[in-house]
Amino acid sequence: MLSLIEPSLGKLLISEPFLMDPNFKRSVILISDYREEGTVGFVLNHPSLLLLKDLIPEMPEAEFPVYIGGPVATDTVHFIHRCYDIINDGHEIAKGIYWGGNFEILKVLIDNGSIMPHEIKFFLGYSGWAPDQLKGEISKNTWIVSDQYHPDVVFSDNEEELWREVIINLGPKYAHVSNFPEDPRLN
């Protein structure tokens, strides 16, 4: 299933069905930075057991889920959002999807109920690739690159179905893959 699309900012990386690395098993990753120096992305469908309020005690009402963005710098918190109109900050990584922004402003907006969970996603850590590492993994069929998604997919809270949904969105050539069992020995 060689990926026909090159990775770039705002594209999705979809793990091949039998990837057993627990960090990336059935993962959907949003590429948030893509340069010669390397690639950064966030796993969209690996929730942690934490809420934002667990990480930031001065926000006791922040009932926002926190996802495991990847195995790099897991002591850092990142966020993507689609509310630039009220945060007025962040780097656009896809149409209407932004990475980061002024966290102090964000805390006030969350405290006063101006931002809802379907507009923002928080991550512990990130996924990262050195120069040419990602292209090497793609050439080995570890990842499928996609630009076929609706922004709502990025903010979906249906983690278990997200991988399947983005595979099906790739079209009939890939749709059958969505039914592969996680462990091929159980087939």
In this prediction, residue 174 carries a pLDDT of 74
d(CA 40, CA 160): 23
Give the pLDDT mean for 104-115. Answer: 95
CB 1 within 8 A of CB 90: no
* pLDDT tens sequence across 148-173: 899 999 999 998 899 999 988 888 77
d(CA 161, CA 153): 10
Q: Where are the beta strands (DSSP E) in the chain?
A: 12-15, 28-35, 38-43, 47-51, 65-68, 72-81, 91-94, 97-99, 120-129, 143-146
In this prediction, residue 126 carries a pLDDT of 98
Of 144, 82, 149, 145, nearest to 117 by C-alpha is 82
* pLDDT tens sequence across 21-80: 999 999 999 999 999 999 999 999 999 999 999 999 999 999 999 999 999 999 999 999
d(CA 118, CA 154): 9
